Structure 1
Amino acid sequence: MGSSLNNAHFPFDSRIADAARGNIDAYLDLGMAYSSGASGMRIDLIEAHKWFNLAAVAGNEEAQACRSEIAEDMSAREIASAQAAARAWLRSTQREAA
Structure 2
Amino acid sequence: MELARIEIFAKVEAADVCGSDMLIARCLAGAADGDSDACYDLGVAYSTGSHGVGCDLVEAHKWFNLAAARGHEAASWCRADVSDEMTAREISEAQRRAREWLRCGEARAA
Please indicate the TM-score interval, normalised by the length of the shorter structure.
Answer: 0.7 to 0.9
Aligned equivalents of 1:24, 1:33: Cα separation in 2: 14
1:78-93 → structure 2 map (5 Å cutoff):
78-93=90-105
The alignment's C-alpha RMSD in Å is 1.1
In the superposition, the TM-score normalised over structure 1's length comes to 0.88
Report if the CA contact (8 A) 2:34-2:70 is conserved: no
Equivalent position SS for 1:39: coil
Normalising by structure 2, we get a TM-score of 0.79
- Of stretches 36-45 and 78-87 in structure 1, the one that deviates more from structure 2 is 36-45
Q: Distance in 2 between matches of 1:17 and 1:92?
A: 13
Aligned length: 91
The match for 1:9 is 20
After the TM superposition, list the runs of 4 or more consecutive aligned residues in structure 1 that deviate by more than 2 angstroms: none
Deviation at 1:39, TM superposition (A): 2.5
Q: Which runs of 5+ in 1 are unaligned?
A: 1-7
Give the Å deviation of 1:9.
Answer: 2.4
Q: Which amino acid aligns with 1:29?
A: D
| 1:24-39 correspondence to structure 2 within 5 Å | 24-39=36-51
State the 1:40 CA deviation: 3.3
Deviations 1:45-66 (A, max 9, x none): 0000000000111221200000
Name stretches of at least 5 consecutive residues in structure 2 with no aligned partner. Answer: 1-18
Partner of 1:71: 83
Corresponding residue SS for 2:51: helix
